[in-house]
């Protein structure tokens, strides 16, 4: 279960500004390329109103939200896949994340240098997409070279797997040579499993983050419209935020001040909260809760996890010794107010090993070590 998203884009599009606002931790941001060499890593709380609602009925000593990790990766440039601008190093950082947040500059500002001299989201996206595709193409071609030897292996399983993998690699090669990301190649589950160990960058899900001026949040400008059209073609999501505005919000000391700032700006929530939730969902992650007097806590689990797997996220002993899960959905708590009322109305259930945990479940695990 990967819990991290890599923030990528050309230099000077606002990646480090957005990262700093996300984590409320300083990331080097300057008006020149490659000011970020080593990736900055930040752990971010996942905004979830349900957590606060649960504590209205079960009052704990401690509240612990779910988290997701963001990795601020240095700006890529044309030729990165060939090593330009420390490209190989940066591409290696991207391979290690679970999904990609692609920050695209959608604001005009003569004081902030653009590496190509003009703001052009379509060109910027094409540059990044081609470099990532070419990097994956090199990976695929290296695997094809290895298959020549593997197909001749005396081990029948190895040779048969190599022969079965070859047509999958050919499909990928043809797409990547055209700059088409691997995620848009129609592979079935078995074919995808065959090439999973390649950790292809363009196989990762991607979210476009349009960075606009603080006066352009209410209506899409032409740059944002361009990104939305390209995202729809790519099957990717889009979030529109103002990095500068979010930076100002993050500098405020209290949640009350931040809420007042948002209200004054006519916003119900920050763009960063939207970005975090979208990234969390893009990683295929959901949340269940444990609730008691000691703590109310949000736990992250992968979509489709069964009760023992979810229990193992707390501690491996919970999974190995799993007996049953006592559960109800948080919305039932909001309706009936107390766990006693939940039980009286048949909303508190006992589930076994085959139960598929739902987003928003409140769980209490019974296990035997």
Stretch 103-117: mean pLDDT, rounded?
81
Secondary structure letter of residue 153 according to DSSP: -
Contacts of 235 (CB under 8 A, 6+ apart): 183, 184
- What pLDDT is attached to residue 30? 37
pLDDT in tens, 173-207: 999 999 889 999 999 999 999 999 999 999 999 99
- What pLDDT is attached to residue 320? 96
Angle in degrees, 0-180, between the axes of helices 271-282 and 15-23, rounded to the nearest 10: 90
Q: Which residue has the higher pLDDT, 78 or 68?
A: 68
User: Of 37-41, 132-136, 234-238, 320-324, which gets the smallest average pLDDT?
Assistant: 37-41
Q: Which residue has the higher pLDDT, 110 or 158?
A: 158
User: Of 32-36, 64-68, 289-293, which gets the smallest average pLDDT?
Assistant: 32-36
pLDDT in tens, 211-230: 999 889 888 999 999 999 99
Pair 270, 240: CB distance under 8 Å: no
pLDDT over 50 at 84, yes or no: no
Among 289, 262, 297, smallest CA distance to 362 is for 289
User: Of 8-12, 166-170, 274-278, which gets the smallest average pLDDT?
Assistant: 8-12
- What pLDDT is attached to residue 208? 97
Alpha carbons within 13 A on the beta-carbon side of 101 = 36
- What pLDDT is attached to residue 78? 62
Q: Report the percent of the chain where pLDDT is more than 70.
A: 90
304-367, CATH topology level: Ubiquitin-like (UB roll) (3.10.20)
pLDDT over 80 at 112, yes or no: no
Contacts of 128 (CB under 8 A, 6+ apart): 8, 9, 10, 76, 102
Tokens of 254: 């209290």
- What pLDDT is attached to residue 25? 46
Pair 210, 227: CB distance under 8 Å: yes
Residues in the chain: 369
pLDDT over 70 at 86, yes or no: no
Q: What CA–CA distances, in Å, run from 312 to 67, 150, 294, 327?
A: 17, 37, 20, 16
Dist CA 276 CA 69 (whole Å): 10
Radius of gyration of the chain (CA): 23
- What pLDDT is attached to residue 74? 65
- Domain residue ranges in the chain: 4-282, 304-367
Among 137, 71, 132, 64, smallest CA distance to 98 is for 71
Rounded to 5, what percent of the chain is helix, strand, coil?
45, 20, 35
pLDDT in tens, 286-334: 999 999 999 999 999 999 999 999 999 999 999 999 999 999 999 999 9
Q: Coil, helix or strand for 100? A: strand
Residue with tokens 């390649």: 198
Tell me if domain 4-282 and domain 304-367 are identical in fold: no
Stretch 255-270: mean pLDDT, rounded?
88
* Four-way CATH pick for 4-282: 2.20.25.240, 2.60.40.10, 3.30.450.20, 3.40.50.300: 3.40.50.300
pLDDT over 90 at 99, yes or no: yes
pLDDT over 50 at 284, yes or no: yes
Dist CA 145 CA 153 (whole Å): 14
- What pLDDT is attached to residue 33? 38
Among 98, 101, 69, smallest CA distance to 241 is for 101
Band of pLDDT at residue 40, cut at 50, 70 and 90 = confident
- What pLDDT is attached to residue 75? 60
Tokens of 263: 């209200």
pLDDT in tens, 330-361: 999 999 999 999 999 999 999 999 999 999 99
What's the chain's average pLDDT?
88
Buried b (16+ CB within 10 A) or exposed e, 97-116: bbbbbbbbbbbeeeeeebbe
- What pLDDT is attached to residue 266? 84
């Amino acid at each position: 279960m990967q819990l991290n998203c890599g923030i990528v884009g050309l230099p000077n599009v606002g990646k480090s500004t957005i990262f700093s606002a996300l984590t409320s931790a300083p990331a080097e941001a300057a008006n020149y390329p490659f000011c970020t060499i080593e990736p900055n890593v930040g752990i971010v709380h996942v905004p979830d109103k349900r957590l606060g609602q649960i504590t209205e009925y079960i009052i704990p000593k401690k509240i612990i939200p779910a988290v997701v990790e963001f990795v601020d990766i240095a700006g890529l440039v044309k030729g990165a896949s060939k090593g330009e601008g420390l490209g190989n190093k940066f591409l290696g950082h991207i391979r290690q994340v679970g999904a990609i947040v692609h920050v695209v500059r959608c604001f005009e500002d003569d004081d902030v240098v653009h590496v190509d001299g003009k703001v052009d989201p379509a060109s910027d996206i094409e540059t990044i997409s081609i470099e990532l595709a070419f990097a994956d193409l090199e990976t695929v071609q290296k695997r094809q070279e290895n298959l020549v030897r593997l197909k001749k292996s005396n081990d029948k399983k190895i040779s048969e797997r190599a022969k079965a993998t070859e047509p999958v690699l050919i499909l990928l090669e043809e797409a990547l040579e055209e700059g088409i990301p691997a995620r848009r190649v129609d592979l079935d589950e078995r074919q995808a499993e065959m090439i999973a160990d390649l950790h292809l960058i363009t196989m990762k899900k991607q979210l476009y983050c349009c960075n606009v001026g603080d006066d352009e949040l209410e209506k899409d400008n032409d740059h944002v419209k361009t990104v939305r059209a390209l995202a729809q073609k790519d099957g990717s999501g889009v979030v529109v935020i103002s990095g500068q505005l979010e930076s100002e919000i993050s500098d405020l000391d209290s949640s009350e001040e931040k809420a007042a700032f948002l209200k004054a700006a006519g916003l119900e929530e920050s763009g960063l909260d939207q970005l975090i939730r979208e990234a969390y969902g893009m990683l295929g992650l959901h949340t269940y809760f444990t609730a008691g007097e000691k703590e109310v806590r949000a736990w992250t689990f992968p979509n489709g996890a069964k009760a023992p797997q979810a229990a193992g996220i707390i501690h491996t002993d919970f999974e190995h010794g799993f007996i049953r899960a006592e559960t109800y959905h948080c919305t039932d708590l909001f309706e009936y107010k107390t766990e006693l009322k939940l039980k009286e109305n048949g909303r508190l259930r006992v589930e076994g090993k085959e139960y598929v945990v739902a987003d928003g479940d409140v769980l209490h695990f019974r296990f035997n070590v």
